């Protein structure tokens, strides 16, 4: 099986063909949340620059199809994951229900639903609901024997006890949406991927739920965040991404020359 490469194609097809069964130690999946559909913008917002809601064609799936799509790609992940493997699935309130339903149908055991508190969340423009400032990462396992590096989780936890000692990591992760130098941009400063995940999130997942030399799969690779962090910490990786332009962006970020 090829490692450290990005497959350009549909993850449901590639999971059922190119990836060996029971071969993957850890999966991080950041699927389309299915929240695009309006093009809300707030240009000239004084507190943090322009805001643009995610509005991508790959993120617009009719609701009835979305559950089927979720079931199919999670089924593909189940097949390639080792018995002791873990899957992390990123979501928002838009698609959390479908993800949990699909995981439960396959008898995955849900270990945690981590809440990501986005410290620089987009302001509430409609003023008709509480300001959304959270996303979720569902951690599920196929069976017993999963990897959880408890001591490492304590060591890398930025929160400390009152006396400065290391502390157990909780299921509430506070971190900003990616900005500054970490954001992958074009030379004119535009963000090259609308939903780039923080490297800190992947660092926590990879260091706690895998070991050096393990293989990590990301079926929705986007700008390549999972691969960048996996590589940094001595893990092997496989990415899948449908859009060629994002494959090229991720390969450039990873220093891969074709
Ligand atoms: C939410 S983004 C992932 C962002 C990524 N975590 C990052 O840090 O850049 C989802 C990605 O999945 C891709 N995608 C959507 N449907 C797909 C499919 N069926 N198979 C593979 N990739 C798909 C989209 O093009 C998009 O880049």
Question: Could you report the per-residue pLDDT of 197-243, keeping only the tens digit for each?
Answer: 999 999 999 999 999 999 999 999 999 999 999 999 999 999 999 99
Q: Token pair for residue 6? A: 């990005």
Q: Token pair for residue 59? A: 């993120």
Q: How far apart are CA 132 and CA 200, in angstroms?
A: 21
Nearest CA, atom 15, ligand 1: 58
Ligand 1 centroid vs 32 CA: distance in angstroms? 6
User: Residue ranges of the chain with pLDDT lower than 70?
Assistant: 36-56, 58-60
Q: What is the pLDDT of residue 257?
A: 85
From residue 44, give the alpha-carbon distance in Å to each of 67, 149, 236.
37, 44, 42
| Residue ranges of domains in the chain | 5-253
Ligand 1 centroid vs 219 CA: distance in angstroms? 7
Beta-bridged to residue 29, according to DSSP, are 89
Q: How many CB atoms lie within 10 A of CB 129?
A: 7
Q: Are 31 and 73 within 8 A, CB to CB? A: yes
Name the residue of 68, 242, 249, 254 to mutate for ligand 1: max ligand atoms within 8 A of Cβ: 242
Q: What is the pLDDT of residue 241?
A: 98
CATH T-level fold of 5-253: Rossmann fold (3.40.50)
Q: What is the pLDDT of residue 33?
A: 87
Q: Pseudo-torsion of CA 211, 18, 196, 59, nearest 10°?
A: -140
Taking CB atoms within 8 Å and a gap of at least 24, the contacts of 93-99 are 93/132, 93/134, 93/136, 94/33, 94/34, 94/35, 95/31, 95/33, 95/34, 95/35, 95/66, 95/70, 96/136, 96/138, 98/66, 98/67, 98/70, 99/31, 99/70, 99/74, 99/138
| Whether the model pTM is above 0.75 | yes
Ligand 1 centroid vs 217 CA: distance in angstroms? 13
Q: What is the pLDDT of residues 108-132, one digit of tens each?
A: 999 999 999 999 998 888 889 999 9
Q: How far apart are CA 210 and CA 147, in angstroms?
A: 6
Nearest CA, atom 13, ligand 1: 220
Q: What is the pLDDT of residue 61?
A: 79
Q: Are 61 and 69 within 8 A, CB to CB? A: yes
Closest CA to 204 of 154, 255, 244, 143: 154
Does residue 242's CB lie within 6 angstroms of at least one atom of ligand 1?
yes
Ligand 1 centroid vs 211 CA: distance in angstroms? 25
Ligand 1 centroid vs 222 CA: distance in angstroms? 5
Q: Token pair for residue 148? A: 């959880």
Q: How many CB atoms lie within 10 A of CB 6?
A: 21
The burial of 235, by beta-carbon neighbours within 10 Å (0-12 exposed, 13-18 middle, 19 or more buried), is given as buried
Does residue 250's CB lie within 6 angstroms of at least one atom of ligand 1?
no
Does residue 199's CB lie within 6 angstroms of at least one atom of ligand 1?
no
* Cα–Cα–Cα angle for 64, 28, 193, rounded to 5 degrees: 75
């Amino acid at each position: 099986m090829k490692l450290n490469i990005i497959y350009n194609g549909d993850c449901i097809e590639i999971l059922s063909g190119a990836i060996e069964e029971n071969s993957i130690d850890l999966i991080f999946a950041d699927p389309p949340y299915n929240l695009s559909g309006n093009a809300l913008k707030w240009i000239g917002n004084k507190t943090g620059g322009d805001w643009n809601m995610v509005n991508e064609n790959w993120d617009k799936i009719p609701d009835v199809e979305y559950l089927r799509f979720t079931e199919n790609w999670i089924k593909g992940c189940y097949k390639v994951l080792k018995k002791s493997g873990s899957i992390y699935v990123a979501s928002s309130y838009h698609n959390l229900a479908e993800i949990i339903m699909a995981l439960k149908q396959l008898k995955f055991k849900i270990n945690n639903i981590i809440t990501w508190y986005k410290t620089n969340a987009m302001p509430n423009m409609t003023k008709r609901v509480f300001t959304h400032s959270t996303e979720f990462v569902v951690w599920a396992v196929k069976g017993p024997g999963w990897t959880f590096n408890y001591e490492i989780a304590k060591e890398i936890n930025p929160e400390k006890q009152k006396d400065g000692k290391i502390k157990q990591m909780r299921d509430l992760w506070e971190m900003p949406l990616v900005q500054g130098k970490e954001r992958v941009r074009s030379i004119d400063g535009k963000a090259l991927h609308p939903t780039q995940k923080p490297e800190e999130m992947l660092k926590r997942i990879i260091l706690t739920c895998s070991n050096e030399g393990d293989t990590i799969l990301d079926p929705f690779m986007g700008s390549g965040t999972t691969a960048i962090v996996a590589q940094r910490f001595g893990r092997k990786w496989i990415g899948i991404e449908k859009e060629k332009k994002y494959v090229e962006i991720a390969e450039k970020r990873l220093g891969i020359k074709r």
